[in-house]
A and B are shown apart, each in its own frame.
Chain A
């Protein structure tokens, strides 16, 4: 982006109207003056919240947007401050970011790469957004991350679980707080071994697109290391709604575990169908048949209803974390309190990630003393923090991935209310889910150098 000028927002917004509409085009400026894209010069700074508002993930997007609004409120000194009080870094003081009031614009990704990029571009070009964040699928995250790299703004990924986001498609301007498929596999494996033993035969149903493949690869690698056998991996089309013809062969495949590498509506439907076919009550090889859903979310649990009882999966965070596992996960309760009091229900993991990402960005700017994306990225790289609900966490500089504990959860048998659909089985410590930046599942990409635009 070479077009943003010093004058653009600053001069205009602060109302230095230059003699009210003098008809001479006196201020022609091309690629000059400003040091980086959308440098905020007035008394405010604009963040872009790009979430799915239409399409199947609209509810998840709505939850993300709630979290963003809450984060903005807290950054500007409103509300009860939420996790600002527990965050280990204390540079944010409720006066916005570097004294500038935080404003935001929102847009609709439609969960399509094209629409998401169009929306992000409009935020950058029209609204002067200095940072873009959000999203509810990996395809969108990778596409928008690429755009932000080119435009010279920071991208703080929302919910994206594919290894590629911080692997093959990683970018210097992009950062991910959410966990990934590899971590799911690494966190689940020991728990699966404990629950189901180490001589199991797993049958995989996998959504036939990039995320599904990385998910399947990760889980298969992790479980095979335990001694499990992967009987079959069947790819299912994204548009599939009725999975009966994929579930039926599982009955006679000799497998005793079904792994559903599906997300969102796909997962709700495939799990519903699997339960319909009586897989949960089935006995194979003298063992109880088990179903595993590697990536869980609260909304999926809600959508799947009673079908998730007893089914194991992994999560980035859960609102009960601090209550059940103690002070190590400080921040969780503070966040649940301010979110719950404002909206009337506990936040989802997507909301927590988005809230944390906004705070992390603000904090990095404050510490760097500049909105320049390169300075911000430098401040974020290898930053160690605590108190954002996930316990001690590191933003690894080599691939811009956060490393923190991963939750293994299970669908509750008798939920006391609709917010307790899952129970925490285990919290896998960060050491077990850490991998080398050049791990083969993440190879093939390069961060490149940071781009500040202008």
Chain B
């Protein structure tokens, strides 16, 4: 029983990441009709916002400690971060400790601007082009982005630990413990998802965007500058992906190809949810997350060997064959 509960939590947690990425991807599909293969890269850039902030906070000056030696036998240079010398060791250390949550503030403007620039500079020119061209150009962009990250940060994973206070485990009930940060991540995802839905549902801006998703031409005819709004939506989608990345850092250390690892999976999630459906994307994210968690239990792998390797794809096939447009898809979106 406890084991099942923990696996559901694991599933919700994985599902949070899937749902956040799929949400942004669907926003772009739905509003702009663009197949964005660079979406995984946006997630990765978000995670590296946290890494960058951590590096900035750790900028140090060096002092020589004559008592210790380095690997070449010369006196060891001890590094002290500037923040520690400015704010005192305790406050400085606390700031560094909280670098991941702080990175949220750092990542929001970065990702929004990144999204705007990307849409205005590149994606805009591909609205009328075939999906295949969109795939090629965004895939090229994804490669370029991840190679730039690799050139600056290396290929090795870089730890971005959670603050001391939010790491460790919480006891949920008798005998059931779960990492605090993962609970934080789930709550954070719920907050973002709720925020995006509320934004689209309850603001005039959101209403126009929804109208644009349904019928772009008519909205344009009504004299509304839908393009500008779509640019903002692209920025928003980039920010959602980026924040998902920032917060994911403490769960798994970011590396330059984490975007590619998530890319295919997030496409599967979006399609299983149904093209153009935001609730569908979120639902599919959680469903696949939970199923994946259960498939990796010993019980499942002994019943069907290798099930943990293929579960996501198997489920995708079954759903697409029984529900032609995924869980909640609309007719006519990306079907030709």
B169 and A277 form a contact (CB under 8 A) = yes
Chain A neighbourhood of B14, CB < 8 A: 242, 244-245
Interface residue SS majority, chain B:
mixed
Total A-B residue pairs with C-beta atoms closer than 8 Å? 119
Interface residues on B, range: 35 or more
A58 and B72 form a contact (CB under 8 A) = no
User: For residues 127 through 154 of chain B, which have their beta carbon under 8 Å from a beta carbon of chain A?
Assistant: 150, 154
Is the C-beta of B257 less than 8 angstroms from some C-beta in chain A? yes
Is the C-beta of B71 less than 8 angstroms from some C-beta in chain A? yes
Give Cα A231–Cα B78 distance, bound, in whole angstroms.
45
Chain A neighbourhood of B179, CB < 8 A: 276-278
Is the C-beta of A146 less than 8 angstroms from some C-beta in chain B? no
B296 and A246 form a contact (CB under 8 A) = yes
Chain B neighbourhood of A242, CB < 8 A: 13-14, 17, 251-252
Q: Known interface pairs A235-B301, A241-B252, A249-B297. Does A302 touch B156 (Cβ–Cβ under 8 Å)?
A: yes
**Interface-forming stretch among A1-9, A123-131, A303-311?**
A303-311
Closest chain-A Cβ to B151's Cβ sits at a distance in Å of 10
Number of interface residues of A (CB under 8 A): 48
Chain B neighbourhood of A237, CB < 8 A: 308-309
Q: Known interface pairs A276-B181, A305-B161. Does A59 touch B156 (Cβ–Cβ under 8 Å)?
A: yes
Give Cα A272–Cα B297 distance, bound, in whole angstroms.
19
Is the C-beta of B304 less than 8 angstroms from some C-beta in chain A? no
Chain B neighbourhood of A236, CB < 8 A: 296, 308
User: For residues 293 through 335 of chain B, which have their beta carbon under 8 Å from a beta carbon of chain A?
Assistant: 293-294, 296-298, 301, 308-309
Chain A neighbourhood of B155, CB < 8 A: 55-59
Interface residue SS majority, chain A:
helix
Give Cα A419–Cα B79 distance, bound, in whole angstroms.
14
Is the C-beta of A382 less than 8 angstroms from some C-beta in chain B? no
Closest chain-B Cβ to A184's Cβ sits at a distance in Å of 22
Chain A neighbourhood of B68, CB < 8 A: 416
A245 and B293 form a contact (CB under 8 A) = yes
Closest chain-B Cβ to A170's Cβ sits at a distance in Å of 29
B71 and A340 form a contact (CB under 8 A) = yes
Q: Known interface pairs A241-B261, A244-B182. Does A249 touch B253 (Cβ–Cβ under 8 Å)?
A: no
Closest chain-B Cβ to A236's Cβ sits at a distance in Å of 8
Contacts A276-B169, A307-B159, A320-B71 known; list 17 others, CB within 8 Å: A56-B255, A57-B155, A208-B309, A234-B298, A235-B301, A242-B14, A245-B293, A251-B6, A269-B253, A272-B159, A276-B179, A277-B177, A278-B169, A304-B253, A305-B253, A340-B71, A417-B70
